[in-house]
Chains A and B, each alone.
Chain A
Amino acid sequence: MKINVIVFAAVKEVLGRERLEIDLHAPATVADLRQALLQKHPNITDLMDHCVISVDQEYSDDSTVLKEGCEVGVIPPVSGG
C-alpha cells in the first residue's frame, strides 16, 4: 500500500523535497515505515533518531497501524514560539 509522507525542517533540507511516497506491505506499522524510510534514504538516519511520527496529524508511536492513503508526518524536534 502507498503511504504519503511529509517531511519538514532539516529532514526536508537533506532530502530536497517535502513529499515522498513509501510502498509498504499491509498490515504495516509506524515502525515498518521508519525502517522502509531509512532503507530508501540512509542519509537521514541521524536525524530520524530525533524525529517522532504523526499519522493523519496526530502523534503516534511505533505500534500505530497505518492505513492505505494515510498521511504520515516526520516531525523533527519542534521549536515554535
Chain B
Amino acid sequence: MIKLTEQPIQAEQAIDAVAHCNAGANLLFLGTTRQWTGDQETRELKYECYQEMALKQMQQLHDQAMEKWPLLGVCIIHRLGCVPVGETSIAVAVSSGHRQPAFEAGPWLIDRLKQVVPVWKQEINQQGDSTWVHPLNPGATS
C-alpha cells in the first residue's frame, strides 16, 4: 500500500496493510515530529510534495523492496500539510515469514525514501518562523 494523506496517520493502518497469514514478522517504523532539536524548539512541520512523482517513486521503492527481500507486504504512508509535535509524518511497515528480511527492508525503505521521494518539509518554530529543511540541515524528525 502506497499513500499520501493530509489526515493523521494511525499506526494500525500501516501494520494492517501488511498483515498476511504467512507472516511471522511485522515491522513498523513511525517518523514523528520532534519538539527539540538541540536548542531549537519546533511547533510543527509542514510538508508538501510533487504528488504524481512522489507516488511513482514510492511505488518504485515498494516494488524494489519486494524484489530485494522475500517480503509479504510493504506499506508506505506519508502525511502532507501540517504535522504537530508528537504526530506521525511517515509510516513504513513490512511483513515477512521470518524477521531478518523485515529488519533489513525497513531501514532501507525509509533511508531511500528520504533520498528520492520528492517531499519537502518546512520547520515552524514557536515564534511561527518557517525554514525549509535541507538534508544538510536536518529537521525535527529522525
Contacts and interface: CB of A to CB of B under 8 A. Distances in A.
Interface string B65-106: 000000000000010000000000110000000000000000
B interface, over-half SS: mixed
Contact of A78 (B31, B117, B136): B117
Contacts of B28: none
Contacts, number: 70
Contacts of B6: none
B117 A9 contact: no
Given A73-B50, A80-B47, A80-B90, A10 B31 contact: no
Given A8-B48, A8-B50, A57-B53, A78 B115 contact: yes
A80 B56 contact: no
Interface string A61-79: 0000000000001011111
Interface in B9-54: 31, 47-50, 52-54
Interface residues of B, number: 31
B94 to A, nearest CB: 16
A9 B49 CA distance: 8
A75 B50 contact: yes
Interface of A: 6, 8-10, 13, 54, 57-59, 73, 75-81
Q: Which of A6, A8, A58, A76 has the most CB of B within 10 A?
A: A8
B134 A80 contact: no
A77 B135 contact: yes
Please provide the 3 A-B residue pairs with the shortest distance between their CB atoms, ordered closest to farther: A80-B119, A57-B53, A9-B120
A50 B91 CA distance: 28
B113 interface: yes
